[in-house]
Structure 1
Amino acid sequence: MTDNHQVVVVPEDLCEALVSRADAFQAVEQVFAAMASGDARNFPVVREATGHAEALFGFKSGFDKAGMALGLKAGGFWPGNADKGLTNHQSTVFLFDPDTGRLQALVAGNYLTAVRTAASSSVSIRHLARPDAKVLGMVGAGHQAQFQLRAAAEQRAFEKVVAWNPHPDMLSKLEAVAREIGLPFEAVSQHELGAQAHVIITITSAFEPLLMRDWIKPGTHIACMGTDTKGKQEVDPELVAGARVFTDEVAQSVQLGETQHAVAQGLLAESDITPIGEVINKTHPGRQSDDEITLFDGTGVGLQDLAVAATAAKLAQQQGKAETVRL
């Protein structure tokens, strides 16, 4: 018997052409909801230093029974890639048939990782930020920050963007994005950013607090998106402890997310952290007053990658643009 099993291949340029911010938002919101209801589960993360090219390499995997997405993302971080004209983060998503275990699709993961991370923070803004938020604060101005800004701007009627970056010369790219979408832009100090912003996104690789508790005004929503490794840190542990805290996955948050420091210092209990999916599913009220500070710890989970990759594969097939190989 001849087996004509076909595997869908979706390259980077096709992912960018097919998967919109709205598509990514819907996929991520749905998978967060499935996680909170017990219909989707992340498997343990593997992440190791290779001992070559200063690279980190690993796997994120899981199964979303609600969306019938089974698979893994393989990839990591190569700090020397920028000198080669390549993105430092490199990844590929492998999707398998949940009924048979056969490989279904190979999906390029670089663009999808950026757009799903931005979707994660924008989901938190949709569900937790005050409806009247007018000023968006950006801490960080790297490649990912541009995705974050575009996605966040669609969630509230922002009137201004204020930003700070450890390397001020990088802010010009973020300013160009802000002006492109019609928002005034101002480079400010960290203290001034806290004084002005109603919503703040932190997206850096910092290992020390960049925002202190006393700088943040009541009613602010903060999405901490850069801390995804033990030792990384973007905000003051006292700020985390003083906020109502939400996350994508609690276990990962306390291990390697922004809450790791507040938990380690005894300032925050694991039971104080709520999965954002509970807010989406309306089993948790989310923000409970106009004055409270809400904080979302976006650690990045494998199920997000599977959700957007499954969307890319589905759209490619529906539009007749899918490449296939026979295995």
Structure 2
Amino acid sequence: MWIVPEAKIAGLMDRATCFAAIEGVFGAMARGDAYNFPVIREAIGHADALYGFKSGFDRAGLALGLKSGGYWPGNEAKGLTNHQSTVVLFDPDTGRVKALVGGNLLTALRTAAASAVSIKHLARPDAKVLGMVGAGHQSAFQMRAAVEQRAFEKVVGWNFHPEMLDRLAGVAAELGLPFEAVSLDELGAQSDVIITITSSHKPILRSAQVKAGTHIACMGTDTKGKQEVDDLLVARATVFTDEVAQAISIGECQHAIASGLMAEAEIAELGAVINGSHKGRTSAEEVTLFDGTGVGLQDLAVAAAVVELAIAKGIAIEVDF
């Protein structure tokens, strides 16, 4: 069995490799070559933590395994990231454990790669302004990945706690882009692409605030009850997702479906656009929305890629298990 410690991930996985892994697994899902198993996610009744498992099998990439972990809200005070996870890969031919991989940084990278894949395939080619709703830990990863997909000239941002916007301003400066803290009305009026990355349980961004032609990547809603945008915006948009079953149960679509404003059949897989079996955006005025719920196959794809890199570079630790 191979072990790739969390501390080694940053030196192994780059955004381009992560992007390719996520784009590939989305395509495999849409072709029916890869599928996710049911998600387990529970409050454990200790430390206010949510804990669970995401798992699946990619027949094309021969990635079989699970990600185990969750959210511990008190970790930041302990100098740890709130999200903690580990990926376990198995040999699909024998069922034996193949690798144990640190999953914290990989989760952040694969989440950002997913929204970046949606921007590549759904945003207008002439998109110039990137809007960021949320300024938490994940927002920096999101911005860095997003700007590689379009020639953005400016970043605008909004956060519940304005003092946290320094994170967005700092990353934008690092990328050579001007940054402006704005109201939600101004953000919607200026932005050609909007990324929402919060833990909100009530809508933040509303349809009336979003201009025609915008692409929105909703990346924060991954649990029943969470919501970042209002039902009207989801119903107005042409909606794509990583997995339809998750979108309607724990993703942003859960609310529009429950209110009767949209039907499950109106939701398409982003992988279908990647594969060319769905036309994707059809006009410059169309509003597109990616409901990024986060699927286990994403974790398996990036973990499998990083194991290969670690073995090739002599960094992976081999143990008899």
TM-score range, shorter chain: over 0.9
Alignment partner, residue 23 of structure 1 = 17
Alignment partner, residue 272 of structure 2 = 278
> Structure 1 residue aligned with 2:251, among 257, 280, 297?
257
Alignment partner, residue 313 of structure 1 = 307
Alignment partner, residue 162 of structure 1 = 156
Q: Distance in 1 between matches of 2:188 and 2:63?
A: 39
How far apart are residue 301 of structure 1 and its match? 0.2
How far apart are residue 323 of structure 1 and its match? 1.1
Secondary structure of 2:282's aligned partner: coil
Alignment partner, residue 3 of structure 1 = none
Deviations 1:153-208 (A, max 9, x none): 00000000000000000000111000001000000000100000000000000011
Deviations 1:45-91 (A, max 9, x none): 01111111111111000000000000000001111111111000000
2:63 corresponds to 1:69: yes
Aligned pair count reads 321
Alignment partner, residue 120 of structure 2 = 126
Secondary structure of 1:246's aligned partner: strand
2:34 corresponds to 1:54: no
Question: How many percent of aligned residue pairs carry the same amino acid?
Answer: 69
Alignment partner, residue 107 of structure 1 = 101
Alignment partner, residue 180 of structure 2 = 186
Deviations 1:95-153 (A, max 9, x none): 00000000000000000000000000000000000000000000000000000000000
Q: Which amino acid aligns with 1:209?
A: P
> Structure 2 residue aligned with 1:226, among 203, 207, 220?
220
Unpaired runs of 5+ residues, structure 1, are 1-6
Q: CA RMSD in A?
A: 0.5
Alignment map for 1:25-40 (pairs within 5 Å): 25-40=19-34
> Structure 2 residue aligned with 1:267, among 261, 266, 270?
261
Runs of at least 4 residues off by over 4 Å: none
Q: Distance in 2 between matches of 1:244 and 1:56?
A: 31
Secondary structure of 1:13's aligned partner: helix
Q: Which amino acid aligns with 1:298?
A: G
Q: Distance in 1 between matches of 2:247 and 2:160?
A: 25
How far apart are residue 13 of structure 1 and its match? 2.1
Secondary structure of 1:326's aligned partner: coil
Structure-1-length-normalised TM-score:
0.98
